[in-house]
Amino acid sequence: MPELPEVETTLRGIAPHVVGQQISQCVVRETRLRYPVPPLLPTLIVGGEIAAIWRRGKYLLFAIGGGHLLVHLGMSGSLRIVAKGTPPGRHDHVDLELESNLCLRYTDPRRFGVISWVEGDPLRHSLLCSLGPEPLTENFSGEYLYQLSRKRKVPVKSFVMNANVVVGVGNIYANEALFLAGIHPLRQAGSLSQKAYGRLADTITVVLAAAIEQGGTTLRDFVGGDGKPGYFSQSLNVYGRGGQPCVRCGRPLQKDRLGQRTTVYCGYCQR
DNA sequence: ACGAAGCCCTGCAAGC
DNA sequence: TGCTTGCAGGGCTTCG
């Protein structure tokens, strides 16, 4: 379940091994991801150099020639550096072999991820053009959330998980940030005060930054290693703790379904 | 324009 | 033990 911290950690982990490298071969074993992997992908990128990697929301962008390789890890995807010639497993769908002895391998058991190609300015791509601000930049603030939420009736949790509002706030961190801000997840987005959104913007920022920090230590080695996500080892206050005592007041945490997502909160501490 | 629901997919855990 | 069932969920698409 890669959330933004894990995507950022992946970026930092693989960048030293792939930036500046020429792609010597591209092997696509499975094209059925969220969208079909472009049949011409190998033709488009083999021989090209990965000039840079960057991130927009949970999308990774590899600058190659006049376009970008667009990668999303979905629910279960990962990118790992393996030695060239490492036998592929059942869910190792795409390999980018580099001029070094290394190979960038995309693995995704549930196939919710994306591997696509964008010609020209990637930010104009339909998947990226309407994304909200990055939560760890100054474009994101309580004032921004407050203004955008006026007259919105969706639950505030759904509001902050909407990538068109702000990118990178997945289910785990939405639950955690709302708990830390003392805000009930089912509150209508438009009913929250500017002060409440100030707290929420702060807790979103803090939780994501802390997770990136932790992911950075847990996932430092992207060559070899097991690739286990780091955020599970961080202390989660509510996620996965339905029915257990609230760390603040001791009352049992409530667990609801909101949309299709599990929502855990303290009905006493979160108003 | 907004909001709710559906869908994609496999691994894992729980229940019978 | 081996089957079936339900759940996990990001994010796009469809429908009201």
Give the pLDDT of residue A72.
93
What is this structure's pTM? 0.91
pLDDT of residue A233: 52
- A149 CA: nearest nucleotide by C1': B2
Name the residue ranges covered by the structural domains of chain A: 4-124, 142-265
C1' nearest to CA of A171: which nucleotide?
Answer: C9
What is the distance in angstroms measured between the alpha-carbon CA of A257 and the sugar C1' of C9? 12
Q: How far is the CA of A111 from the C1' of B9 (A)?
A: 6
Pairwise CA distance, residues A51 & A254, whole Å: 48
- According to the model, what pLDDT value does residue A242 have? 87
Burial of A243 per CB tally in 10 Å (0-12, 13-18, 19+):
exposed
pLDDT at A222: 52
Tell the CATH topology of A142-265: Helicase, Ruva Protein; domain 3 (1.10.8)
| Bridge partners of residue A67, in order along the sequence | A64, A119
pLDDT at A257: 84
Question: Can you give the pLDDT at residue A205?
Answer: 94
pLDDT score of A69:
95
Minimum CA–C1' distance nucleotide for A258: B4
pLDDT at site A227: 47
A160-174, pLDDT tens digit by residue? 999 999 998 989 899
pLDDT at A241: 87
Residues of chain A with pLDDT under 50: 219-221, 223-229, 231
- Residue A229's pLDDT is 47
Strand B-contacting residues in A 31-60, CB cut-off 7 angstroms? 32, 34
Instruction: For the domain covering A4-124, report its CATH number.
Output: 3.20.190.10
CA distances from residue A102 to A22, A79, A115 in whole angstroms, order as listed: 11, 13, 20
Query: What's residue A185's pLDDT?
Result: 93
Q: Helix A171-181 vs helix A194-218: angle between axes, to the nearest 10 degrees?
A: 130
pLDDT of res. A219 = 47
Please, is A129 exposed, middle or buried when counting C-beta atoms within 10 Å of its C-beta (0-12, 13-18, 19+)? exposed
- pLDDT of A5 reads 85
| Enzyme catalytic residues of A | 2-3, 58, 261
